[in-house]
């Protein structure tokens, strides 16, 4: 079932979009009556000439909401807590709205032409631009105590459709160069809201890791005429010892050079550049495979009493940039965790943070074997 899509506006003008898969869902007509004032603008991005990358400067985000009590959760439906939330309706299936504290926004407080813009002395080293873009919040469910792994396949499919919808729409905005859908789960990762949710960042440039992926893919294609992502997937499927799940349309595997204590990649069997390019069968299969994978991750570690430990993780979709390199890019999901044992975190200390020299204490083959062991 294709979800019903309804776009509305919050009190400060930010967009909110409801994706409803429940039959006979109510019309989304409730107004946001909070006295919010004007929407928060983004700041600027500054060029780091040492590494050739951009950094967003967003001082207003230091005042964003931090781990509120359940009855003040801004992601629950309004009426379920003690204060009005970001979602005016009394219920929802999946909802997406513009972040109230954005790093990137269609409205920026930074104006072109300030010192440091091209044409000013030293502009090769001191460069700034407005942080034009968009940051969105994706609420997977209205159930505050739930998590993505607890969704039904039907609801997970609705989230996938929402990701694809937003990728296509944001990617069509002239200023946007990269769309990144991701989820941070667990306070060890740095989550500031416990309600099950993810985010979407629409960047006005191609971030450093995405640029590195694109450079490798471009070089490989020029040399072989083939897609790097497809060749890596074929190599992992041939090796078999790092494959975790192999379905009709998707393969989940631990990469040969995994950097994190727990890391899994999920790739489609068909060559597609991004989420909007997936067909219905691939989306249905993805919903089932992703829930299977998240369930295994939540059984990866076991407490002394035998109970499973909810794994803190970052899950991010690596998609083709919106303007360049689409012919050599290939979609894949990366799930990674900083938890290296039930009670120990991997800290990105001197080697990783200082020069990007990664050291992993667990072999990728061990990670894959454990994930196969904890299959449903």
Q: pLDDT for 238-247, tens place per residue?
A: 999 999 999 9
The token pair that represents 344 in the structure block: 């120990």
Catalytic site positions: 197
pLDDT digits (tens, 9 = 90+) for 139-167: 999 999 999 999 999 999 999 999 999 99
Burial class of residue 355, CB neighbours in 10 A (0-12, 13-18, 19+) = exposed
Q: State the pLDDT at residue 293.
A: 98
Read off the tokens for 205. 């440039």
Rounded distance, CA 2 to CA 169, Å? 17
d(CA 228, CA 232): 6
Pairing of strands 332-337, 313-318: antiparallel
318 is in an annotated binding site: no
Confidence tier at 1 by pLDDT (50, 70, 90): confident
Q: Using an 8 Å Cβ cutoff, are 317 and 331 in contact?
A: yes
pLDDT of residue 272: 98
Mean pLDDT of 243-260: 98
For residue 230 the two structure tokens come to: 């497809």
Please tell me the predicted confidence (pLDDT) of residue 115: 45
Q: What is d(CA 291, CA 271) in angstroms, rounded to the nearest whole number?
A: 22
What is the rounded (10 degree) CA torsion for 289, 295, 301, 303? -170
- How far is 286 from 295, CA to CA, in rounded Å? 14
State the chain's mean pLDDT as an integer: 94
| Mean pLDDT, range 23-29, rounded to an integer | 95
d(CA 169, CA 177): 12
> Domains of the chain by range and CATH?
4-205 (3.30.428.10), 209-373 (3.30.428.10)
**How many Å apart are CA 230 and CA 243, to the nearest integer?**
15
Question: pLDDT digits over 261-319, tens only?
Answer: 999 999 999 999 999 999 999 999 999 999 999 999 999 999 989 899 999 999 999 99
Residue 358 — very low, low, confident or very high, per pLDDT cuts 50/70/90? very high
Give me the mean pLDDT over the 310-329 stretch.
98
Count the residues in the chain: 376
Give tens-digit pLDDT for 103-143: 999 988 776 544 444 445 457 889 999 999 999 999 999 99
- Write down the pLDDT at residue 124: 81
Q: Is 76 annotated in some ligand binding site? A: yes
Tell me the three state secondary structure of residue 19.
strand
pLDDT at position 122 is: 56
Q: What is the DSSP string of 321-367?
A: -SSS-TTT---EEEEEE-EEETTEEPP--IIIIII-----SS-HHHH
CA atoms of 237 and 230, how far apart (whole Å): 11
| 139 marked as part of a ligand binding site | no
CA–CA gap between residue 201 and residue 180 (Å, rounded): 5
Tokens, residue 64: 């964003």
């Amino acid at each position: 079932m294709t979800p019903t899509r309804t776009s509305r506006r919050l009190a400060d003008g930010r967009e909110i979009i409801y994706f409803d898969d429940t039959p006979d869902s109510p019309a989304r007509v409730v107004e946001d009556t909070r006295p919010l004032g004007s929407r928060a603008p983004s700041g600027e991005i500054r060029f780091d000439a040492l590494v050739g990358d951009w950094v967003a400067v967003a001082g207003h985000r230091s005042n964003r909401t931090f781990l509120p009590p359940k009855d003040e959760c801004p992601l629950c439906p309004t009426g379920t807590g003690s204060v009005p939330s970001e979602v005016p309706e009394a219920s929802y299936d999946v909802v997406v709205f513009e972040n109230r504290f954005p790093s990137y926004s269609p409205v920026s407080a930074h104006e072109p032409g300030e010192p440091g813009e091209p044409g000013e002395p030293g502009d090769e080293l001191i460069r700034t631009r407005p942080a034009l873009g968009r940051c969105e919040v994706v609420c997977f469910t209205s159930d505050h105590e739930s998590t993505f792994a607890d969704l039904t396949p039907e609801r997970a499919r609705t989230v996938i459709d929402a990701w694809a919808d937003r990728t296509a729409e944001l990617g069509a905005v002239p200023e946007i160069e990269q769309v990144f859908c991701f989820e941070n789960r667990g306070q060890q990762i740095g989550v500031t809201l416990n309600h099950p949710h993810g985010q979407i960042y629409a960047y006005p440039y191609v971030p450093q890791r995405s640029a590195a992926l694109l450079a490798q893919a471009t070089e490989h294609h020029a040399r072989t005429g083939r897609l790097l992502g497809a060749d890596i997937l074929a190599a992992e499927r041939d090796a078999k010892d790092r494959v975790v799940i192999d379905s009709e349309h998707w393969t989940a595997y631990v990469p040969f050079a995994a950097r994190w204590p727990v890391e899994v990649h999920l790739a489609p069997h068909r060559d597609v550049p991004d989420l909007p390019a997936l067909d219905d069968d691939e989306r249905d299969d993805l919903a089932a495979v992703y829930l299977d994978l998240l369930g295994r991750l939540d059984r990866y570690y076991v407490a002394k009493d035998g109970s499973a430990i909810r794994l803190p993780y970052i899950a991010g979709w690596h998609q083709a940039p919106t303007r360049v390199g689409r012919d050599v890019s290939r979609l894949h999901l990366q799930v990674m965790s900083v938890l290296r044992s039930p009670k120990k975190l991997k800290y990105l200390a001197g080697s990783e943070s200082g020069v990007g020299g990664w050291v992993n204490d667990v072999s990728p083959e061990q990670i894959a074997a454990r994930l196969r062991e904890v299959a449903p």
